[in-house]
Amino acid sequence: MRVFISVLTTTTLFATIISVPITQPDLPVQISVPIPYESAIYIMERESSIEELKNRDLPLTRVKEIFEAFTDDMEVVGQVAMNLSMRTSVYDKDMGRDPLMVELLVRLSETEDMGSRWAVAKNPHTPSHILQKLAEDKINLVRALAATNPNTPSDVLQRLFNDEKIVRDGLSGNPSVPPKILAVLADDSDKMVRMRVAENPSTPKEVLEKLTGDGDENVAKAAEVNLKRRGET
């Protein structure tokens, strides 16, 4: 099947679908399907907006305009979340004070799009009260990313320690996690969890010293490096 789209008037688009019947392969059948002009404009604006959102320097005022214009379009909403993630790949404390940034993060945390909530959960500018809510999300990956965020309240992090493994694992690299939890995670059977504990700047000295004797040489090395960085060797 071949599809051709052409503008026939200033108010309507027609899609001409050409198909070849099996019994008469040389006699194509043409069907004209009208597409409302408004829909065509919407499609063009949508694609243009998605392209704009690929720019991490796009003004937040424009990002908000796009979000509000396509708030029910989960693909565009996801791109808005991705745009905020791109611009926070390097932490900028001042950006977190931008009321537009905070407003967008709050609104994205309430969307049905799991990817958007996922992005908000790991964003360093997400307010603690939003992280508290995301820590109760029905999707375990969203909760796991809330567990990695240093802005998540300590009491919430302690509660997440009783969650399923993928969520608990997220705690291991979080510098805001209470020392007693890091001490428990240092004995985890998963070497990647122990690795993150060994690299964590908040891991107690005695826990790091124990990890220098870890059976995995990479974990042991990471603990040694962490101790040296602190001048505790």
Q: What is the pLDDT of residue 26?
A: 55
- pTM reported for the whole predicted model: 0.77
Please give the Cα distance from 198 to 37 (Å, whole number): 60
Query: Does residue 179 lie in a domain region?
Result: yes
179 lies in which domain range? 172-233
Query: Does residue 46 lie in a domain region?
Result: no
Averaged pLDDT, 128-134? 97
How many domains would you assign to the chain?
2
Same domain, 130 and 180: no
Q: What is the pLDDT of residue 230?
A: 84
State which of 138, 166, 194 marks the end of a domain.
166
7 has pLDDT over 50? no
What SS3 state is found at 17?
strand
Question: In Å, what is the CA distance from 15 to each residue of 33, 47, 94, 130, 141?
Answer: 5, 19, 50, 46, 42
Query: Does residue 42 lie in a domain region?
Result: no
- Write out pLDDT tens, residues 201-224: 999 999 999 999 999 999 999 999
